[in-house]
Structure 1
Amino acid sequence: MADRLRSEASAYLRQHADNPVDWWPFTESAFAEAERRNVPVFVSVGYAACHWCHVMAHESFEDSAIADYLNAHFVSIKVDREERPDVDAVYMAATQAMTGQGGWPMSVFTLPDGRAFFAGTYYPPVAVQGRPSFRQILEAITDAWTGRPTEVDNSAAQLADNLGEARRRSGGLLRLRNERGGPAPEEALTAAVAALEAQEDPAYAGFGGAPKFPPSSVLSFLLARARSDDDGTSAALADRTLERMAVSGIHDVLRGGFARYAVDQAWAVPHFEKMLYDNAQLIRVYARWAVQAEDPEQRALAERTARGIAGWLEAELQLPGGAFASSLDADTVIEGRRVEGATYTWSAAQVQAVLGDQAGPALQLFNTEEGQVEDGAFTLHAGRLWSAGEQALWEEAAPSLLASRLDRPQPERDDKVVACWNGLAIGGLADAGALLGDAGMLRLAEGVARYLLRVHWDGARLRRVSHSGSAAAVEGLLEDYSGVVDGLQALYAATGNTEWFEAAEDILGVALERFTGADGAVVDAADLDTQLRSAQGEQNAADPFDNATPSGVALLAGALVTSAAYTGLIERRARAEALVAHAAVLAPRVPQAVGWALTVVQSAVNGPQEVAVVGPAGPERDALVAAVRRNAKAGAVLAVADELDVTGERAPG
């Protein structure tokens, strides 16, 4: 059996290198092998921090009998959805079309040309509660492949046509213009706030019920809108959700940072994986809230939260060379067994053993009933804002609890570097460092920027992932180029170092060449694999909707608005407004899906706002710059320099 995954950049793929399954990475060679053998392809998609991915791996992919069957009847491909979101997006669309739901691990069966004909998510090793076992699925696929090939081909053709039509609609959505039926931008922004107000959870804030994810893009929009919203609705919506999240079980009050999501409505019990992309966005949001909230207690909470995220990023995710790793696992290995959240939960006895007489008062800070998990354990979920005295009590008790927790087994870390997420981290740290006057955050951001420009960017192409200081061959997607540009623009605004501005302009120029067309067409992947094109009816168009991260389209639009303000290239502003025209149409119905785009629309409505602060460094200039940063509306750009430079063709300001 070939050992193909051992040297992959993805920790998720390397985790499966010792499986008895004869795994292939997602390559032309794998599909060619399926064609040669005349067998279907099994595409298994997951990611390193995924609890149920580990479960299925242990139950099925480490089982020699199941592996033997897979090896005899399939070509098996293992995909890290974080490394290859283009693969994940195509086959997730197929899975949702066939089953009405999605998730990971994702199990997709395709023809050798890449077209899917059957898909699902997790399958157990034995049939349970009407759910077939994984072995039963494999046998049924084999029977269909050998006994009903025409039916299999027809099913694949119909699904590919349907997915192609969906992609065509996405492309058409990005060519919308407001004059063709959508509301005017200001009306759309007002409608988006009204829709979010209607969707708000009146008991626990946030939008909708369980599971609850941090609505990072929407929160960015609400804070941007609050600076232009006279009736205070946007600010109130943001205040309630940001406070609830910060005092909840998904916020790690010992180490800092946020877990991926809450499994319950009260935000009390997280799914324990901790992702760079969530925290890169949330540090920006909480830093902005720290200077924007009217309530001083909320401002203090916001600043503690933002500083905690920065501390966690540096302590837990920073890699040699300056960039950040992708995630921490949801599971902790305890005596050879994976236990979800084992590092983070507590029992009353454990708290007592660490704090002694302080344990009783410390436990009163938390709603241990709402935070209950299993076997008497609970999360550190307060569920309310503490008083000054309670905060002081916690700050006295926390170091001992953290020291005890650090002595426990820790979750595994996925050390791959993803360009987009690190770009978002640059922007988050740069904005937070500037707003909170924290030079350490700015140094962290600069370290990430230098790594990306040294390892991921060669002057012509941006690579999506790297590992151990070496970039993989996969070219970045639209979100990678745009996310890195956004980060570098924010870093320039925070430091005044034109190196970052020049790099942002260079990468933005390549992004426009690679991902956009003169007819308004936008794609997420400049060079889409043959198999992925086949799987979606030979169509290739960008997905305009936010997910856990902002859409590449919205990130590009935001970068163009900023670039236009700095450079005076008004055609870039017009292009940005065209890219987010769909947000005005969708705002009254699905504002959560277009939060970042709505922020860009708000920036455009505010008009070009350009502030140059020129003069010798010192307290007076620092005070003026700080005031601009605190009070500027969304879309404003700031250039700081010792003296005015009018010689450079691309000099900002």
Structure 2
Amino acid sequence: MPNRLANETSPYLLQHADNPVDWFPWGEDAFAKARAEDKPILLSVGYSACHWCHVMAHESFEDAATAALMNRYFVNIKVDREERPDIDNVYMAAVQALTGQGGWPMTVFMTPDGQPFYAGTYFPPADGHGRPGFPRVLEVLHEKWTSERDTVLQSADGITAHLKQAAARAAAGKAEVTPEAAQRAVELFREVFDSTWGGFGMAPKFPSPSNLEFLLSYAAGSGRDDGAEPTALEMVLQTLRHMATGGMYDQLGGGFARYSVDERWLVPHFEKMLYDNVQLVRVYLHAFQITRDPFFERIARETLAYLEREMLDPEGGFYTAQDADSEGIEGKYFVWTRAELDEHLGDDAALFAAWFGVTPGGNFQDPHHPELTGRNVLTNWQDPEVIAERFGLPPPQLAERVQELRTKMLAVRDQRIRPGLDDKLLTSWNGLALAAFAEAGRILGDASYRDVADRTAQFLREKMWRRGRLFHTYKAGSARVDGMLEDYAYAGLGLVELFKLSGEMEHLDWARELFETALREFRDRDGAGFFETSASGETLIVRQKPFFDAATPSGNGAMALLALWVGRYYNRAEGEEVALEVLSQVHDHMLRAHTGFGTLWQAVEFLLAPRREAVIAGEPAARQPLERELGSRYLPFLAIAPTADATGLPLFEGRDVDEGAVAYVCEDMACQMPVTTAEALAAQLD
């Protein structure tokens, strides 16, 4: 018989609807039951693309004996971390405080009023590998709850006090917005840069797009004359090349996996997340602007094609994630044996194998997955000239043939059992997707990307925006959960990018409205910065302020950038004031934990950059040559304002045009002569 999760819309929660565990969704019903029955709460948090979440579910939550212990001793709550990032962040802080590490599945034991007293991540079904078995944990904690209650409650009070103290802790002072501060941050990135394989630190390696974006903006801005080796730009470009030629990148279908388990970007953790891919699209587009290397354009276009093909909902938004597992095996959908190539490609198998690094014995070993022995993750490390000579094909003909074989093998892979799809839609991540497609349309001049961006903005407006408020998640025709700081910030930044592409004031005006709503609902009136949850939202044991980047930009970092854009376009000094206020809260931490503040370092670069605006006035068709020139250049903090009627912004005053198109470029309150050709515009931008 299905449990209470059967009434939920989250795909992750629905995966547990048939467990013998008496799961509750997060809500008052669960807490009331815990209080009435004097039971502690077992909180389990995960997400649908999490491999070890599936493992623990199969080993423990589907096991009748384990479920019986859970039901007898605890009130059990299951949470989708993507649906409730506020809950996830609060209790992940508890896990990290108690264990020194974090991750998912997250398992937290807490009092009926939500105070944690014991926590961990994955627990095996029996003792082993230095971890206690889950049934033993359940028995021990039940015994402590019944016989050592005072000690447990004292521990819970102490942990909660620690969490509140940590959330309130701030380094109030003056933000250090100087080229020297940014340079010191880059020096710290340099110290952990992998000069062989790119990326930062040791395995496992994550893409960390916010850090890459900071380094690019530094290279083009305050660090232009840095002179140190490797340069910020070199670190980014080397990282991007190695990521896209390794197994981290889907060589057949496009798109990036969550992270690499090794330093070479060879073996990925195979789930594909929307947030990784849309952020990386922008980094590759920016690398293309800087270098004009078609490699970076190709990776961006292939990833965009993957997103449109496999992640785009008919209603206009993007799905959340694709699972790592299919047929119960992580990565099975993506890996190949040499025999499979022979079966499907015949004589062409040798060429395909040479190009993509496929060997008869397999090109990787994963001790956690011996069932994948002999299989290959496709890579693109091979030298095309060597392969061209080996197979007697001119390089252009070789590239064409490889593309034909890729298409054929992608069709073969499409016949396999696919990994699971988490098809809920999140406002925050769709805001990131909106920014990616809008910027792709502007940089690449491809109208199809603008169409996708327009549809995404329409989805957010029609499905996620009600009575002046955003909702966080959408599934099965229903928008749920009050919007959080990241929803307002990411959606606002996406709308700014769409305005830069279209010039339609409705997008920029909505971005301003989202910013103003965030000021009212999320800003700390007693301190500084922004809370993750609104003043009118649900009260958890701690109200956190997100400053630290995770896989996505921190809410405060993204809001600082949105404040700067709103201030720039609407000529509001408040924009810089808000950004400086946010930076003042963490200025002492940004150098000590530099890799966690890439978004806020971008805000520093924004503040350091000259104030530049480019108004392109005229009808859309006439503007195209001038807009192409702008799109070809990496100018991350240039306020681009296309307009047909020169109304709606202070920037537009006196800048109408009778015919054709005119570009007006201004820097630090001084404007250059209007120009009408791309060549003249290029001269002003150089």
Q: TM-score range by the shorter chain?
A: over 0.9
Determine the C-alpha separation between the residues in 1 that align with 2:128 and 2:556.
Answer: 42
Aligned pairs (5 A) from 1:45-444: 45-169=45-169, 172-173=170-171, 175-178=172-175, 183-228=176-221, 229-231=224-226, 233-293=231-291, 299-333=293-327, 338-368=328-358, 370-373=363-366, 374-383=372-381, 386=384, 388-389=395-396, 391-444=399-452
Q: How large is the RMSD of aligned CA atoms in angstroms?
A: 2.1
- What stretches of structure 1 move > 6 A for 4+ residues in a row? 528-531, 647-653
- Structure 1: gaps spanning 5 or more residues: none
- Partners of 2:40 and 2:111 within 8 A in 1: yes
Residues 446/651 of structure 1: CA separation in 2 closer, same or farther (3 Å cut):
farther
Q: Which moved more, 1:441-450 or 1:608-617?
A: 608-617
Three-state SS of the structure 1 residue aligned to 2:540 is: helix
- Partners of 1:600 and 1:635 within 8 A in 2: no
Residues 66/372 of structure 1: CA separation in 2 closer, same or farther (3 Å cut):
closer
In the alignment, which of 599, 602, 606 is matched to residue 596 of structure 1? 599
Three-state SS of the structure 1 residue aligned to 2:471 is: coil
TM-score (norm 2): 0.88
Aligned pairs (5 A) from 1:572-611: 572-581=575-584, 584-611=587-614
- Which residue does the alignment assign to 2:456? 448
Determine the C-alpha separation between the residues in 1 that align with 2:491 and 2:86.
Answer: 18
- Partners of 2:646 and 2:654 within 8 A in 1: no
Alpha-carbon displacement from aligned partner over 1:604-648 (angstroms, at most 9, x marks no partner): 1113222111023335x2121222233353221111112322699
Determine the C-alpha separation between the residues in 2 that align with 1:115 and 1:528.
Answer: 22
- Partners of 1:567 and 1:651 within 8 A in 2: no
Determine the C-alpha separation between the residues in 2 that align with 1:651 and 1:489.
Answer: 20
- Which residue does the alignment assign to 1:631? 633
Higher radius of gyration, 1 or 2: 2
- Partners of 2:289 and 2:634 within 8 A in 1: no
- Which residue does the alignment assign to 2:567? 564
- The structural deviation recorded for 1:465 is 0.3
- Partners of 2:12 and 2:48 within 8 A in 1: yes
- Partners of 1:567 and 1:652 within 8 A in 2: no
Determine the C-alpha separation between the residues in 2 that align with 1:339 and 1:168.
Answer: 43
- The structural deviation recorded for 1:351 is 1.3
Q: Which has the higher contact order (CA 8 A, sep 6+)?
A: 1
Residues 126/646 of structure 1: CA separation in 2 closer, same or farther (3 Å cut):
closer
Q: How many residues align?
A: 631
Three-state SS of the structure 1 residue aligned to 2:6 is: coil
- The structural deviation recorded for 1:370 is 5.0
Three-state SS of the structure 2 residue aligned to 1:611 is: strand
- Which residue does the alignment assign to 1:549? 552
- Partners of 2:40 and 2:145 within 8 A in 1: yes
The percentage of aligned residue pairs carrying the same residue is 39
Determine the C-alpha separation between the residues in 1 that align with 2:430 and 2:581.
Answer: 27
Residues 38/307 of structure 1: CA separation in 2 closer, same or farther (3 Å cut):
same
Alpha-carbon displacement from aligned partner over 1:475-525 (angstroms, at most 9, x marks no partner): 111011100000011111111122211221222211111111344242111
Determine the C-alpha separation between the residues in 1 that align with 2:633 and 2:528.
Answer: 34
Alpha-carbon displacement from aligned partner over 1:65-124 (angstroms, at most 9, x marks no partner): 111221111100000011111111111111111111111111110000100000111111
Three-state SS of the structure 2 residue aligned to 1:258 is: coil
Determine the C-alpha separation between the residues in 1 that align with 2:177 and 2:317.
Answer: 41
Determine the C-alpha separation between the residues in 2 that align with 1:541 and 1:325.
Answer: 27
Q: Which moved more, 1:516-525 or 1:558-567?
A: 516-525
- The structural deviation recorded for 1:371 is 4.3
- Which residue does the alignment assign to 2:500? 493
Determine the C-alpha separation between the residues in 2 that align with 1:327 and 1:428.
Answer: 17
Residues 648/602 of structure 1: CA separation in 2 closer, same or farther (3 Å cut):
closer
Q: Which moved more, 1:605-614 or 1:206-215?
A: 605-614
- Partners of 1:327 and 1:414 within 8 A in 2: yes
Residues 221/124 of structure 1: CA separation in 2 closer, same or farther (3 Å cut):
same
Alpha-carbon displacement from aligned partner over 1:260-295 (angstroms, at most 9, x marks no partner): 0011111000001000010111111111111112xx
- Partners of 1:262 and 1:271 within 8 A in 2: yes
Residues 260/545 of structure 1: CA separation in 2 closer, same or farther (3 Å cut):
same
TM-score (norm 1): 0.93
- The structural deviation recorded for 1:384 is 5.5
- The structural deviation recorded for 1:651 is 9.4
Determine the C-alpha separation between the residues in 1 that align with 2:381 and 2:287.
Answer: 19
- Partners of 2:316 and 2:452 within 8 A in 1: yes
- Partners of 1:496 and 1:639 within 8 A in 2: yes
Alpha-carbon displacement from aligned partner over 1:188-234 (angstroms, at most 9, x marks no partner): 11112111111101221100111111120011111212212124611
Determine the C-alpha separation between the residues in 1 that align with 2:348 and 2:94.
Answer: 54
- Which residue does the alignment assign to 2:488? 481
Determine the C-alpha separation between the residues in 2 that align with 1:90 and 1:280.
Answer: 26
Three-state SS of the structure 2 residue aligned to 1:126 is: coil
Determine the C-alpha separation between the residues in 2 that align with 1:385 and 1:238.
Answer: 21
- The structural deviation recorded for 1:528 is 8.3
Aligned amino acid, residue 364 of structure 1:
A
Alpha-carbon displacement from aligned partner over 1:282-333 (angstroms, at most 9, x marks no partner): 111111111112xx5xx21111111111111111111121101100011002
Aligned amino acid, residue 279 of structure 1:
N
Determine the C-alpha separation between the residues in 2 that align with 1:210 and 1:324.
Answer: 30
- Partners of 1:188 and 1:585 within 8 A in 2: no
- Structure 2: gaps spanning 5 or more residues: 367-371, 386-394, 656-686
- The structural deviation recorded for 1:7 is 2.6
Three-state SS of the structure 2 residue aligned to 1:548 is: coil
Three-state SS of the structure 2 residue aligned to 1:618 is: helix
- The structural deviation recorded for 1:131 is 2.2
- The structural deviation recorded for 1:581 is 3.8
Determine the C-alpha separation between the residues in 1 that align with 2:311 and 2:538.
Answer: 35
- Which residue does the alignment assign to 2:466? 458
Determine the C-alpha separation between the residues in 1 that align with 2:654 and 2:529.
Answer: 29
